[in-house]
Amino acid sequence: MPPPQKKHWESMAKGLVLGALFTSFLLLLYSYVVPPLHAGLASTTPEAAASCSPPLVEPEAVTRANSSAGECQPRRNIVFLKTHKTASSTLLNILFRFGQKHRLKFAFPNGRNDFDYPTFFARSLVQDYRPGACFNIICNHMRFHYDEVRGLVPPNATFITVLRDPARLFESSFHYFGPVVPLTWKLSGTDKLAEFLQDPDRYYDPNGFNAHYLRNLLFFDLGYDSGLDPGSPQVQEHILEVERRFHLVLLQEYFDESLVLLKDLLCWELEDVLYFKLNARRDSPVPRLSGELYGRATAWNMLDAHLYRHFNASFWRKVEAFGRERMAREVAALRHANELMRTICIDGGHAVDAAAIQDDAMQPWQPLGTKSILGYNLKKRIGQRHAELCRRMLTPEIQYLMDLGVNLWVTKLWKFIRDFLRW
C-alpha cells in the first residue's frame, strides 16, 4: 500500500488535471455563448480620453511630475508591472484606492485576476477592450510585453515595478507556488527547499509545468528569457532596457523609502500611499535561508541577482538625489500615519490567521493546500471620516477587483473547485 503522503500527492495531481480540464472546457464554452462584459469602473476622464498613440521613442527618465515652476500636478496614468512575491499586492491596493478615488479607467483582466499569466500580455486580454481604447491604470499580474502595454496608455504614463532580493523571493515563491509545480512533488524531506537547493538541476526542468516560478521569476515577469546564460551580453542589455522603460523601480526591502520616492514622482498626497501589509505569509516552521543556502539560492537565480544589484544601486542614487535627511523625515511621517490608521482600522491591531478572520470579505486568497496567508479583522466601530478608507485599505485583491466591477468568473470557478475538493 502506498504511503499516505504519496496518496495525498496522487490525489492532488489528479484533482489538478481534472480541474484544469474542466476550467478549459468552461472557458471554451464561455467564449462561444457569452458576449463581452463591460467594466464596472470605466468612467471617462480628460486623461482617460487622451490619445494613446505610442511615442516614437521610449520615454525619457523623469524625476517628478510635470512642472517647470516648482509645482506639480498628480500623475494619473500609471503602468505597474506587478511582480510576484514582492509586496506587490500592497502596492496594488494603493493603486486601486487612488484610481477609485479619482474615478480613473483601469485596464482589467477579463474572467480572472491576471492577464492570462504566464502567457505574454496582449491587449485583447483586457476587459471591455476595443481598438483605440485608452486607459489610465494597468496593474494586474501579467508577463510584460512593452509594445502591447504601451499602446493602451497615454504617452505621459509613468511605468513602475518592484523588485526583491532574489534569494528571499525564491524562498517565498517556492513555499507559495510549490504545490502547483509538479517538479517539487518528488521532494520527500521535511525541508523541501533545502533539498532542492542541494542539487537543483536534479529536480528542475525548464519546460516543466509552472517551472517559471522556481528560477529567475523577476526576469520572467519582465518578459525576458529566464533561462539565459548569466554571462550572456543579453542580460545587461535587458537590464538597461528595463531602466529606460521604467521611471521608478521600487525595492521590497525598502518599501517605505520606495513609497516616498513614488509619492514624490507622482506628486501624490501622503494619504494616497498609506498601506497595510497585504498577502503576507505566516512565519514558516522551517528556518529562513541563511549562509550557504542563501548563496545557493542567489546563484540559482543569477539573472535576477544581476537585475536586483543594478536597481539596488540606482535606487540609492535616487535616495541621495532626494536627500537623506528629507527621506528620513518623510519615512517617519509615513510610518506615523500608518500606525495611526492601524489603531483606527484593525481589530486587535495586527494580522491574524485565516481561521480567525470573521468577515469573508476580508479573507485573502490562499495557496493550494494550506492557509498560510494572513489577513485582518476590521473594527466594528470606526468613525465616519475613516470608515471607507479603512475598509478599502484592508480589502484583499480578489474582493477589491469585484468591488471595481471586474468579471472574475474563472477565478470564482477555481475557488469553487478548490472548496469542493477541500484544497
For residue 320, give the CATH number of its domain.
Answer: 3.40.50
- Domain containing residue 413: 73-421
Task: Return the pLDDT at 189.
Answer: 80
Report how far residue 258's alpha carbon sits from residue 250's, in angstroms, rounded to the nearest whole number: 5
Residue 153 lies in a domain: yes
Report how far residue 148's alpha carbon sits from residue 145's, in angstroms, rounded to the nearest whole number: 6
Cα angle 294, 296, 299; round to 5: 110
**Has residue 261 got a pLDDT over 90?**
yes
Least confident range of 9-18, 53-62, 108-117, 391-400: 9-18
**pLDDT tens digits for range 156-196:** 999 999 999 999 999 999 988 998 999 999 898 888 999 99
Chain CA centroid to CA 215, Å: 17
Task: Return the pLDDT at 401.
Answer: 95
Helix axes 384-394, 88-101, angle to 10 degrees: 140
Q: How far apart are the first and last CA of the chain?
A: 23
The set of cell numbers assigned to 383 is 468613525
- CB-based contact 91:163 (threshold 8 Å): no
DSSP reduced 3-state for 281: strand
Residue 220 lies in a domain: yes
158-163 sheet: strands from edge to edge: 106-107, 137-138, 78-81, 158-163, 248-251
**Has residue 369 got a pLDDT over 90?**
no
Structural domain tally of the chain? 1
The two beta strands, 78-81 and 248-251, are unpaired
Report how far residue 173's alpha carbon sits from residue 348's, in angstroms, rounded to the nearest whole number: 29
Q: Look up residue 162 and give its DSSP letter.
A: E
Residue 291 lies in a domain: yes
Least confident range of 42-46, 150-154, 394-398: 42-46
Distances (CA, A) of 120 to 55, 147, 223, 407: 22, 11, 7, 20
Q: Could you tell me which of 199, 10, 180 has the C-alpha nearest to residue 189?
A: 199
| Matching residue, cell 493546500 | 369
Q: Look up residue 122 and give its DSSP letter.
A: -
**pLDDT tens digits for range 193-204:** 999 999 999 999
Cβ neighbours, 10 Å, residue 56:
6
**pLDDT tens digits for range 346-357:** 999 999 998 899
Torsions phi, psi of 216, nearest 5? 50, 50
Q: Could you tell me which of 409, 412, 414 has the C-alpha nearest to residue 110?
A: 409
Residue 415 lies in a domain: yes
User: 422: pLDDT confidence band, cut at 50, 70 and 90?
Assistant: low
Q: Residue 196 carries which side chain, given as an amino acid letter?
A: F
Report how far residue 342's alpha carbon sits from residue 44's, in angstroms, rounded to the nearest whole number: 34
Chain CA centroid to CA 190, Å: 29
What's the whole-number mean pLDDT along residues 50-76? 61
Residue 9 lies in a domain: no
Task: Return the pLDDT at 188.
Answer: 86
Task: Return the pLDDT at 412.
Answer: 81
Report how far residue 13's alpha carbon sits from residue 209's, in angstroms, rounded to the nearest whole number: 12
Q: Could you tell me which of 230, 226, 197, 229 has the C-alpha nearest to residue 212?
A: 226
**Has residue 321 got a pLDDT over 70?**
yes
State the chain's mean pLDDT as an integer.
86
Residue 25 lies in a domain: no
Torsions phi, psi of 378, nearest 5? -80, 135
Residue 56 lies in a domain: no
Task: Return the pLDDT at 250.
Answer: 98
Q: Look up residue 225 and give its DSSP letter.
A: -
Residue 57 lies in a domain: no
